[in-house]
Structure 1
């Protein structure tokens, strides 16, 4: 029976304000077994944040030794000793830590693992040296239930031994060792804790029984024999009995047996990985560490959920969040789920040959999807949102994970199709403007977001065709074509000034408020808001002045070719603005004027700073090198150089001259998160892409559709209540769509004539009407909605202006016949002298083409009216004119050629008949 020792409470309540620990970890650890629900971290030779019972729930600030001889010195393990940390095995996340007295008088060696089956952290310790009076104390700082305030510390007696315990809101931890404690105390940090006690006079003068409701610390004196190992255990439970039982049971098993089981567990998921190490330049060290690191970031209760990092960036400056759902991601840390990071991690493991974890992640994603088809910006493992922003790429990424698993036939019995349909519906209903880009900063038109969205839509359409749903697939492809056709117009500036001679290049983002559906993007002079700027720095700049390398995602998925001149020029701008050369190789900052990073003097980021270089961007550049048929090895080698000696990749590296006084070294980690799981995933994917000779994320159907100018689909122009397109061009197809059933009333003539059309439904729940924009149309297309679900008119009109081009001009007769606003652009019919067609259906588009330049003379009315149009040319030397066939057309389309190269008429007429069966009166 557990008994609490006495009632003597420490003084100094509640203690100093709590803080977490540094974010650049030296190690992370957990058992691979799902029954051992503990995750640990290391920094500067000591145990730091420990998470239990889920990976998003820290319960400890740190656990370290204090050392003194009782009379002349006081050493804090993390502050005063020289530390060296090494991995014990290739895959298993166990560490050997050697902490040495700077004067060489003693050394503390520790091996750290987690119990393979119980919620208990284990640390075997050996002290060596020649100090006969050396005294050793354990100092433990509980931060139970994600915070330092409100903790309660006690000394207890159980089974004939004294232990240290702490509790908060029903969560307990228990601290003990295979050696007995000789003295124990509880205190308030900075007031009556063991650190303050020993620091004062090198003696442990206080022995308090408890410290309640505050920022507390546990202290226990140990008297180890020199060079004789002992084991420290830190266990957790949702009641005192569970925590103590787990502690004592874990300590009862010899440490060597625990090590053996721990290593065997880790070998099981890693022994069948692909031989990616053969293309590494470090012998496979970072490859093995990356696989284990990603596996370790998966939760064990919410299996498939993977957090961004077991670290709190610049945690030494961060106190308790105001609540469990604190909205500040920088205060909260990275122990939460971002969909983007999760999918990258799952794909990284898939690239390494692991199919089981990615499938679990996909199932987790399907259960996390919101009813409207979107995904929360960032959540706790249980799906509770931490922030409510919407990032369209995070809606698209689960589709890409589905496609990869579908391609590898790794879905087993799970059907993700409903999730895919809902995600596609959301992208179509709410795109193309994203509330936030992939860096969670700005809203608008982002090249990276558009790339992921387009790739996901084409991947979804391919899966739909595999299921026989060709109609929905075509509808989805139409929307992807629409996005693809506007990439440059939305995200490319013509007023760039960052590199002399390059005025046209991709921008970081063309800012638009998503709540303003009729706003026109301006990638030249739109104003980008820049958060986290230091004193005196501008917080707003023109879009043309802010660049990043997100456009490389267009190449990654096959939307644009690597040698596209615009891509090449944009890379020159990015390199001039964002590239950093380090002793290990090149690295890149996120975007111009980024304010999220270590300050210039090496001090931590606090509300503002200077964005530093991100190793994962070196991985992205390596993928571009593969697409461009260049050597990716320099980028692989650079990422390996950025990793710690224990194989962890940081979020950011120091990209300025060395600052030894701040422990900042060029190419070394800053105080932000290390490891960053996404960076490890990017490295593994780069190895796989190098081994295959092709980018792992490349989607053939995307490249086939957009990879060249020839044969590129003609995209409809899409208007929705969420995205109100301002202008279309003659002969284009205007698609009006909504998420509700409706009947459209439309006019080409300022309401002199109207056309009512019932919208077509799709399996996605999106309804649409297609309006052809006739040749010669000059007035705006005006329309309104009658909502069939509520039997009400919209009560307002909308309009889309028409841009005039040199095309066939329709006669009044032709316009009158055009009584329904639909042309099926998917039914484009091509006619040439060598390959004529006999008939065409109303609402289709007739393309007349020839290998010579010409002007076409055409009639819809047996030469009662004629229309002349000069043919457009393609890079392939094909010349063409598009002739729309209106609904109700009955007479054949007749035409002849005027050959521009010889200045001669063809001298004969041609005709294409009309299929009369298709002329069905509209509703």
Structure 2
């Protein structure tokens, strides 16, 4: 994703700390220059030594905030984590542009603390407006930080209010770590027009303060960045540098705050294609001011929500209704501004995806578009009343279809394939979405038929479809009940659309394949010789279509040995019921439910939740350390519980006539939300590091996960209506009710 190109020569100003709205302090290079605090700029030089700095790594994925303005004029997003603003994204949602921005507070003598080092509470004052505040309490100080983006331009505004609680004056800094164009190792930093500017070959950022910076420095991460200097010299900048790079650069500017007479100041992070554009953007946002920007920001979100139906009556508590509204907000914020319909999976980089260049040579992969996740996001927003968003999602999918008819495993928001595995359920997903939207125009049908023809002609590893190179967890090839269910339902839905479009004769071959695979699915995926039950039950998948043989395969994710396929189960077979292919009362389905409940479910204080499959290793280490697959010291990792499975189970229970149980699952999903109502990918189970962590609470996995929020929205309306809202009745009429 990061393109190599020549770096432009920069004209660097000699001033450090020149003010946007106030007079500049003395030159950084002037011997014995003093600022208002009395700190002296001894040994100040022009360029920071020691580059390129430690390799950049992105912050943890368990976010506490995710925000952007409504509308396309502000192509910038922010995330929050642990007392700080973590990644921002610019110019699109596939491109991180910074690693962190946060306060550093010191008295210049006895302590120096970052906001991320002290207790912090993050709040979402209005669930439908992603304008957050963080309250941090340190050694003799308290800070309240508010965040919004400017609806008119690519800028994030941070409103800092810092007060001394000890009566002693404070020195307050803002620490910023740029990571432009998804790469934090090739940036240059320099002062320009009173701002702290960073630039690489593709974009630039400018950090400005309303009252200017009293002093500033730039340096290399882990070597001589501002935080390193303050920590080493007890809150004093003994060394100050004006320029750094290329490398992993960090910028630090002291705000004109003392926590007593001066307590509040706005800082703006502006973006552009080059330094001049970024600086102009930041200055215009600063002139707008935080109060006006926050007002316009909130107005845009309130107007959007006002046009949608109110939350369903199935949500009984105020918290559940707030979570519903926050889920709509989170999904809506996940759409790229420059590529309508491109909704990413999550604005995060969990575990090794943010730190290990072997796993993720460029940042990824969650801030990409996955056709499967996009289907869930679109159906969630469709259930919430935003049909236009679902239409945009389908239009986007039709635009990015590959020449041979299939859909790539995932793409950047502009449609470029990123990972290239073939997952047949992702090629079926646009057919299911098109059926829900009743899209049977000629162009749509032509593209969907190309996808269906790809499925019918697909083969790999000596097997023909519905054998897939990757099933929905993207780790294994084989015959997967969940994939087969998606493909059968997709073909039947396409056939119905063709009939409505006056092309009924074209539908016959798709229906024939769907019927054949429906009759064969149990023979490929149901074992009668497995270790978990004397009765037949569905497997996660079979590698060879022979479920009664002990074929072993490597599960990956740090599992030490191959596992008999008969000993690996998941709840993916529920897709056969949820997509109208099997009856909820099917005896093999019933027995399989008993098997998965016994072997991969855990009862937590947040309700019963399920693992992806037996022996899943996609999750933290036993002590809670991050998942990785390239380190010899990481011997075993443990996949935890996924709240989405409570939603899938509830949709099954609705089809089984148990509305009360489904409503309970809705409450269980809600119980997994964090303090700012973001829903995670995974929650802790009852294994270590429990009891240090509370089972049923979010892990350090991707948070927010759009799929989880979509499942919650969809389930809320499904419980309200008594049936799954995306249930393809045309499939059920053929196989269940016929």
What is the TM-score normalised by the length of structure 2?
Answer: 0.89
Alpha-carbon distance in 2 for matches of 1:340, 1:373: 16
Find the counterpart in structure 1 of residue 18 from structure 2. none
**Contact persistence 2:383–2:713 (CA under 8 A):** yes
Please say if 1:685 is aligned against 2:714. Answer: yes
User: In the alignment, which residue of structure 1 is the partner of 2:681?
Assistant: 651
Separation in structure 2 between the aligned mates of residue 320 and residue 692 of structure 1, nearest angstrom: 45
Q: Could you tell me how far apart the structure 1 residues matched to 2:292 and 2:442 are?
A: 38
| Aligned twin of 1:64 | 102
Instruction: Say whether 1:510 aligns with 2:542.
Output: yes
In the other structure, the counterpart of 2:400 is 368
In structure 2, distance between residues paired with 1:320 and 1:59: 18
Residue matched to 2:411 = 379
Residue 673 of structure 1 corresponds to which residue in structure 2?
A: 702
Counterpart-to-counterpart distance in 2, 1:313 and 1:479: 39
Q: CA deviation at 1:182?
A: 0.5
Distance (Å, rounded) in 2 between the aligned partners of 1:569 and 1:40: 46
Aligned residue for 2:185?
149
Following the alignment from structure 1 to structure 2, what is the Cα–Cα distance between the partners of residues 247 and 24? 28
Residue in structure 2 matched with residue 310 of structure 1 by the alignment: 347
User: Structure 1 residue 291: deviation in Å?
Assistant: 0.4
1:560 aligns with 2:578: no
How is 1:39-438 mapped onto 2 (pairs within 5 angstroms)? 39-79=77-117, 81-101=118-138, 103=139, 105-129=140-164, 130-156=166-192, 158=193, 162-202=194-234, 203-224=236-257, 226=259, 228-283=263-318, 284-314=321-351, 318-319=354-355, 321=357, 332-406=364-438, 415-430=443-458, 431-438=465-472
| Equivalent pair of 1:299/1:305 in contact (CA under 8 Å) | yes
Query: Is 2:500 the partner of 1:478?
Result: no
Q: Is the 8 Å Cα contact of residues 22 and 671 (structure 1) preserved in structure 2?
A: yes
Structure 2 CA distance, aligned partners of 1:492 and 1:623?
Answer: 22
- The aligned counterpart of 1:443 is 477
Partner of 2:604: 582
Q: State the alpha-carbon separation in 1 of the partners of residues 670 and 688 from structure 2.
A: 20
Alpha-carbon distance between aligned partners in 2 of 1:371 and 1:637, rounded to the nearest angstrom: 44
Q: Which runs of structure 2 are paired with 1:17-28 in the superposition (5 Å)?
A: 17-28=55-66
SS of the counterpart of 2:122? strand
In structure 1, the residue matched to 2:36 is none
Matched, 1:31 2:53: no
The answer (yes or no) to whether the contact 2:354–2:360 under 8 Å persists in 1 is no
Could you say what secondary structure the match of 2:355 adopts?
coil
Aligned-partner Cα distance in 2 for 1:3–1:532: 48
Displacement after TM superposition at 1:73 (Å): 0.8
Q: d(CA) in 2 for partners of 1:654 and 1:414?
A: 48
Instruction: Sort the Cα spacing of 1:485 and 1:23 in 2 relative to 1 into closer, same or farther, 3 A.
Output: same
Determine helix, strand or coil for the equivalent of 2:151: coil
1:318 is paired with a residue whose SS is helix
Equivalent positions of 1:653-732 (< 5 A) are 653-656=683-686, 659=689, 664-707=693-736
Shift of 1:2: 8.4
The answer for the alignment partner of 1:896 in structure 2 is none
- CA gap 1:660/1:452 in 2 versus in 1, 3 angstroms: closer
- Give the deviation of 1:148 after TM superposition: 1.6
Cα separation, partners in 2 of 1:19 and 1:687, compared to 1, 3 Å: same
Cα pair 2:441 2:501 within 8 Å, conserved: no
* Gapped regions of structure 2 (runs ≥ 5): 1-9, 16-44, 459-464, 630-635
Cα distance change of structure 1 residues 660 and 209 upon mapping to structure 2, 3 Å threshold: farther
1:482-518 Cα deviation digits (max 9, x unpaired):
010001101100112124xx44100000114xxxxxx
Matches of 1:570 and 1:412, distance apart in 2: 37
Q: How does 1:740-779 map to 2 (within 5 A)?
A: none
Residues in 2 aligned to 1:193 and 1:19: alpha-carbon distance in whole angstroms: 15
Report deviation, 1:351: 0.8
SS of equivalent residue, structure 1 residue 363: helix
Task: Give the distance between the partners of 1:228 and 1:40, measured in 2 at CA.
Answer: 24
- TM-superposed CA distance for 1:281, in Å, is 3.9
Q: Number of aligned pairs?
A: 680
Shift of 1:133: 2.5
**2-side partners of 1:639 and 1:508: how far apart?**
23
> 1:616 corresponds to which residue?
644
> C-alpha displacement at 1:478, in angstroms?
0.9
> Does the Cα contact within 8 Å between 1:622 and 1:635 map onto a contact in 2?
yes
Over aligned residue pairs, what C-alpha RMSD do you find? 2.0
Q: 2:553 aligns with which of 528, 535, 544?
A: 528
* 1:378/1:386 contact within 8 Å kept: yes
Q: 1:412 Cα deviation (Å)?
A: 10
Work out whether residues 510 and 523 of structure 1, in 8 Å CA contact, stay in contact via their aligned partners in 2. no
- Matched residues in 2 for 1:582 and 1:264: separation? 39
Distance in 1, Cα, partners of 2:657 & 2:253: 61
CA deviation after TM superposition for structure 1 residue 697, in Å: 2.0
Write 1 or 2 for the structure with the bigger share of helix.
Answer: 2
Instruction: Give distance in 1, aligned partners of 2:432 and 2:280.
Output: 45
Deviation at 1:52, TM superposition (A): 0.3
> 1:743 matched to which residue of 2?
none
Determine whether 1:625 maps to 2:653: yes
Q: In the TM superposition, what is the alpha-carbon distance from 1:269 to its structure 2 partner?
A: 2.2
SS at match of 1:416: helix
- TM-superposed deviation, 1:527: 2.3
What residue is the counterpart of 1:458 in the other structure?
492
In 1, are the aligned partners of 2:535 and 2:591 still within 8 Å (CA)? no
More relative contact order, 1 or 2 (CA 8 Å, 6+ apart): 2
Higher strand share goes to which structure?
1
Q: Which residue of 2 aligns with 1:13?
A: 51
Spell out, residue by residue over 1:355-386, the C-alpha distance to the aligned partner (whole angstroms, 9 max, x if none).
Answer: 11111111111110011110111111222211
Q: Is the 8 A contact 1:313 1:333 kept in 2?
A: no
**Equivalent-residue separation in structure 1 for 2:622 and 2:572 (angstroms):** 25
Q: Is the 2:46–2:241 Cα contact (8 Å) retained in structure 1?
A: yes
8 Å contact 1:5–1:154 — kept in the other structure? Answer: no
2:208 and 2:310 map into 1 onto residues whose CA distance is 42
Cα shift readout 1:544-598 (whole Å, capped 9, x = no counterpart)? 1000000001110111111111111000000111101111111100001111101
* Residues 1:29 and 1:219: Cα distance change in structure 2 (over 3 Å): same
Q: Secondary structure at the match of 2:710?
A: helix
Q: CA separation in 2, counterparts of 1:327 and 1:399?
A: 31
Over residues 586-640 of structure 1, what are the superposed CA-to-partner deviations in whole Å (9 max), with x where a residue is unaligned? 1100001111101111111111511110111111111111111112121111111
Contact 2:436 2:728 in 1 (8 A): no
CA distance in 1, matches of 2:452, 2:517: 14
8 Å CA contact retained: 1:311, 1:673: yes
Q: 1:44 to 1:414 in 2, by over 3 A?
A: farther
**Residues 579 and 586, structure 1, Cα contact 8 Å, conserved in 2:** yes
CA contact (8 A) 1:286 1:640 kept: yes
- SS of the residue corresponding to residue 508 of structure 2 reads helix
Unaligned runs of 5+ in 1: 513-519, 712-923
Assess, with a 3 A threshold, how the Cα gap between structure 1 residues 109 and 18 changes in structure 2: closer, same or farther: same
Partner of 1:866 in structure 2? none
